[in-house]
Amino acid sequence: LQRPRHGEDPMAPMLTTRGMRGRSAGACTGRSRASVTVTQARASSGSGAKGARGAKTSRRAPLLGALLLLPLGLGEPAAAQDALPPPEAGLEVATFAGGCFWCMEPPFDKTDGVIATTSGYTGGDEPSPSYRQVSAGVTGHAESLQVLYDPKVVSYEELLQVYWHQIDPTVKDRQFCDGGKQYRSAIFYQNETQKEAAYASFVKYRDSGVFGTKKLYTEIKPAKPFWPAEDYHQDYYLKKPILYKYYRFNCGRDQYLRSIWGDQVPAPTNPDQ
């Protein structure tokens, strides 16, 4: 049974071979931004509301997957996206790549002090790339997550800790069932302070031996323009929770994280049970 790739229908393997529970992957999702401006306005008004969420999918989807995901707009041409503006005074951003950005959003959304998360693309040179371009691996971008946060409530170091608890840094140009440089793990720093903190965290986790090896492939790079993913990727784990859970479980992310971190991360949940 061949694994579907990120962006393909997570239920395809179950529909094809009923009862098989391999590590097949499907569509991945995350949380988008509603609007950074609106979200920041909420934050400044003290509402504490979080921004919308973002999601995304991967390369060549089979016909069934394409039909199932058409309501999200996956069959539509991608509209150009504007790069996110700088944060308002008093707020900061952190940018991480950890494979499927749908899966990266929930843990940050649950973190106190995070105002909004946006799924998107960064690390490449192509302006306003589409999902199809990025997932084809031709732009140099990585699927990424931009986190808007209040540093008075949560520190960048704490966000780094959340990040390391979501990825497998021991593989190059891959995260779980999604392969290619567009699925590399990376920390994109915004300034020298973040750069120093990112390198310090890398050394900390490398030397701890927690990942079973000291050969880690997570990149630490200066931030480039961050391009939000298309609207149909945003809020996917909220819009399509069942499909999202099928993808996440069959991709094996939670099983791996549980093997590393134990009770520090949620137990895998099989949506079939």
pLDDT along the chain (273 residues), means of 10: 46 36 36 37 38 39 39 47 87 97 93 96 94 94 97 98 98 96 98 98 97 97 95 84 91 95 86 71
Pair 119, 145: CB distance under 8 Å:
yes
Q: What is the pLDDT of residue 46?
A: 40
* Whole-number Å distance between alpha carbons of 2 and 42: 45
Q: What is the pLDDT of residue 10?
A: 43
* Whole-number Å distance between alpha carbons of 201 and 186: 12
Residues in CB range of 176: below 8 A, 6 or more apart: 25, 99, 100, 168, 251, 252, 253, 256
Give CA angle at 77 (108, 185), nearest 5°: 30
Give the end-to-end CA distance of the chain in Å, rounded to a whole number.
Answer: 21
Q: What is the pLDDT of residue 83?
A: 83
* Whole-number Å distance between alpha carbons of 131 and 175: 17
Pair 30, 178: CB distance under 8 Å:
no
Alpha carbon separation from 22 to 68, 121, 222, 246 (Å, rounded):
21, 29, 37, 11
Quickly list H helices, the chain: 12-16, 36-45, 63-69, 101-109, 131-135, 156-164, 192-208, 236-239, 241-251, 253-261
Pair 150, 137: CB distance under 8 Å:
no
Place of tokens 């579907």: 4
- Say whether 251 is catalytic: no
* Whole-number Å distance between alpha carbons of 253 and 268: 8
Sequence length of the chain is 273
* Whole-number Å distance between alpha carbons of 29 and 104: 8
* Whole-number Å distance between alpha carbons of 42 and 94: 19
3-state secondary structure of 97: strand
Place of tokens 């509603």: 34
Q: Which of 100, 103, 177, 251 is catalytic?
A: 100
Q: What is the pLDDT of residue 122?
A: 97
